[in-house]
Structure 1
Amino acid sequence: MDEPTTRAARRAATAQRILSAAQAEFGEYGLERATVRGVARRAGVDPSLVLQHYGSKNDLFAVATQLHRGSTDELDASSTPQDVAEHLFDILGVRLNTPPPEARALARSMLTAPEATAAMRNFLGERIQNLARADNRPDAELRAALTVSSILGLTIARHFLELDALTDISEEQIDTILRPWVTAALDGPNPPSTPES
């Protein structure tokens, strides 16, 4: 690949290299244990350059953990149960693969760093509201929260805890066990109606 020739292009390339290094560092160590020196070492730059580009470790973390939201995965009241199922199966397929660096960094830090906790809560809240919009039952938000939380648990157990049963899962098991499981909370029966007095 050609080296950037203009000063602005070199600066942008260095900033991107630092950002990629930060995502790897935060993904491995979390916000608390990651260091600016570690990021700089990974990026092959002086630590002062990391701070020059991003200000502080916390500012760098905020940029490095921005989750990308797809614009094509929005559900609404007109979404069919099949639309919802396909949406969830797409998410399941993504979550079974190695998480992108920004998601890995955020997940690694979400229980120890308030910034990560807030970012993850906001992201999951958006996903819950997205699912709930496609369900007209009174407990739609709870059903959506259970589904989203279950997928988060699967992601953590597979990629961070590396539970054998989940790391060795076969394509057949994905079809016969995981796919029905991921839609179970949404497929459940409607709550019984209360008798009128």
Structure 2
Amino acid sequence: MSEPKSRAERRAATAQRILDAARAEFGERGLEAATIRRIAQRANVDPSLVMQHYGSKAALFAVAIQLGKAAPNEVEAHLHDVLDVRLGALPPETRALMRSMLTAPEAAAQMSTFLNERVDNLSRAMGGEDAELRAALIVSSILGLTVARHFLKLNAFNEASDTDIARVARRWVTTGVEPPPSD
């Protein structure tokens, strides 16, 4: 493949290298352990370029987890990754947003926007009949699990390991990935 010639082509190629590096880093280390510095190192760029292209680690993560049209097994693998992230410790900004989403209109709007983006992304990737509704149910289920585990501290979750919760939740949360058979 030839090297990009124009400034716009070089910029796009750099952004893609950063995104590829971020996907690999998030996949290996998870959101919390991944760092801008490691992502930049992996992409062979200065860390300031990562920030220049994506603004923040959270924004880069949001772009990195976007799905295109995907096969059911790819959607399931993506949902398993999301579960793993949500079962681990929540970043401080996520904890603050979730604590405030039912009492502060600004937090509710931000959470709604984020979740609607997740639903849109997932429904496009899944396709088929009722894709948007199935995606909304899956996203809502993961949100409910996150709230029950990290904030309400339900006994069953406190007494189970992350591995056990993930094992059971993976089968449960991916039930609606494929459209139901037509009658």
Normalised TM-score (structure 2): 0.63
1:137–1:190 CA contact under 8 A, matched in 2? no
The answer on 1:149 being equivalent to 2:114 is: no
How far apart, CA to CA, are the structure 2 residues paired with 1:185 and 1:76?
A: 18
Letter in 2 for 1:74: Q
Taking a change above 3 Å as real, the CA distance of residues 107 and 125 of structure 1, as seen in their structure-2 partners, is same
Pairwise CA distance, 1:172: 3.9
1:110–1:116 CA contact under 8 A, matched in 2? yes
The corresponding residue for 2:177 is 186
The corresponding residue for 2:43 is none
How far apart, CA to CA, are the structure 2 residues paired with 1:165 and 1:183?
A: 21
Cα RMSD (Å) of the superposition? 1.8
Q: Of residues 137, 155, 160 in structure 1, which corresponds to 2:151?
A: 160
Larger proportion of helix? 2
Percent identity of equivalent pairs: 51
The corresponding residue for 2:27 is none
Letter in 2 for 1:131: L
Number of aligned residue pairs: give it.
125
The corresponding residue for 2:66 is 74
2:68–2:125 CA contact under 8 A, matched in 1? yes
Letter in 1 for 2:140: S
Structure 1 gaps, min length 5: 1-65, 193-197
Larger Rg: 1
Structure 2 gaps, min length 5: 1-56
Q: Structure 1, residues 131-165: CA drift from partner, whole Å, max 9, x if none?
A: 00112213000000000000000000000000111
Normalised TM-score (structure 1): 0.59
2:122–2:135 CA contact under 8 A, matched in 1? yes
Pairwise CA distance, 1:186: 1.8
Q: Structure 1, residues 48-101: CA drift from partner, whole Å, max 9, x if none?
A: xxxxxxxxxxxxxxxxxx954432211122x11111011100100000011111
1:67–1:103 CA contact under 8 A, matched in 2? no
